[in-house]
């Protein structure tokens, strides 16, 4: 019996995936999560054979959700499910260890084929995209691995640093003390092996990290 976790914040799409997979792969046990914290909680408590991860659900903030999951569970096969069919983004997710990219426009048969291929240890990409995806970018993968070592709170601070916000402004947006922001900045510099905000901005820009919502309650 194979256990698969669908992590997506849209119940209707989770239902659609469940229906497609149940018909094609009846021996699957399907679990569901609607945000990154609940996804991590399930992964800590259950043996999951494959995670289907939406990049843009709460707590994910674009690539960081994938990086965070890969850091916590490096042996877990992960496929990204997204409505954004951008070749540059797909190349990035493959570079950081995802085993597949499934567009939300994919047919039921393609979804089943993707899951079967990934469970067999292969990388699955839509046929229309697979020829255009560049080889794994080792430099990008190394950079992403350092960013993955950040906590979610440190990641949010890094994004705001990229946007040019001062510590006081960052503290206001995240509803935390300025001293806490300073502590996060110090930790970011150490984890990313950098010395100043300019270098932090460069790293965040290279990863094209998505800014968190103001007053985000996940700290």
Residues 106 and 201 in one domain: no
Residues 181 and 93 in one domain: no
Domain contains 136: no
Residues whose CB is less than 8 angstroms from the CB of residue 197 and which lie 6 or more positions away in sequence, other chains included: 161, 185
Residues whose CB is less than 8 angstroms from the CB of residue 91 and which lie 6 or more positions away in sequence, other chains included: 133, 134, 137
- Assign residue 63 the CATH number of its domain: 3.40.50.2300
Q: Buried b / exposed e across 17-45, counting CB within 10 Å, b at 16+?
A: beebbeeebeebebbbbbbbebbbebbee
Q: 97, 130, 163 — which closes off a domain?
A: 130
Q: 95, 130, 165 — which closes off a domain?
A: 130
Full pLDDT tens readout for the chain, 219 residues? 889 999 988 888 888 888 888 877 778 889 999 888 899 999 999 999 999 998 888 766 667 888 889 889 999 999 998 887 777 778 888 888 899 999 888 888 888 889 999 989 888 988 776 655 655 567 777 888 888 888 888 988 998 998 899 999 999 999 999 999 999 999 999 999 999 999 998 888 877 655 555 444 433
Phi, psi of 102 (to 5 degrees): -115, 110
Specify the number of domains making up the chain. 2
The span from the CA of 165 to the CA of 65, in Å, is: 23
* Count of CB atoms situated within 10 Å of the CB of 7: 27
What's this model's pTM, rounded to 2 decimal places? 0.77
- Assign residue 157 the CATH number of its domain: 1.10.10.10
Residue-range definition of the domain harbouring residue 43: 2-130
Sign of the alpha-carbon dihedral angle for 103, 74, 115, 1: negative
Domain contains 42: yes
Q: 74, 96, 130 — which closes off a domain?
A: 130
């Amino acid at each position: 019996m194979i256990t698969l976790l669908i992590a997506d914040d849209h119940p209707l799409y989770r239902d659609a995936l469940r229906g497609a997979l149940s018909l094609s792969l009846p021996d699957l046990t399907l679990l569901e999560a609607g945000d990154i914290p609940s996804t991590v909680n399930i992964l800590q408590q259950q043996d999951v054979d494959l995670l289907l991860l939406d990049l843009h659900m709460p707590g994910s903030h674009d690539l960081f959700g994938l990086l965070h999951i890969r850091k916590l569970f490096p042996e877990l096969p992960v496929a990204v499910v997204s409505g954004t069919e951008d070749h540059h983004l797909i190349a990035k997710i493959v570079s950081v260890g995802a085993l597949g990219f499934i567009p939300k426009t994919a047919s039921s048969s393609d979804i089943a084929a993707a899951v079967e291929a990934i469970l067999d240890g292969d990388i699955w990409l839509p046929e229309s995209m697979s020829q255009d995806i560049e080889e794994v970018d080792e430099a990008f993968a190394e950079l992403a691995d350092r960013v993955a070592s950040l906590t979610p709170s440190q990641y949010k601070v890094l994004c705001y640093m990229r946007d040019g916000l001062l510590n006081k402004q960052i503290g206001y947006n995240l509803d935390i003390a300025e001293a806490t922001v300073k502590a996060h900045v110090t930790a970011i510099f150490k984890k990313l092996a950098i010395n100043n905000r300019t270098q932090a901005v460069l790293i965040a820009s290279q990863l094209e990290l998505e800014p968190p919502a103001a007053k985000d309650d996940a700290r």
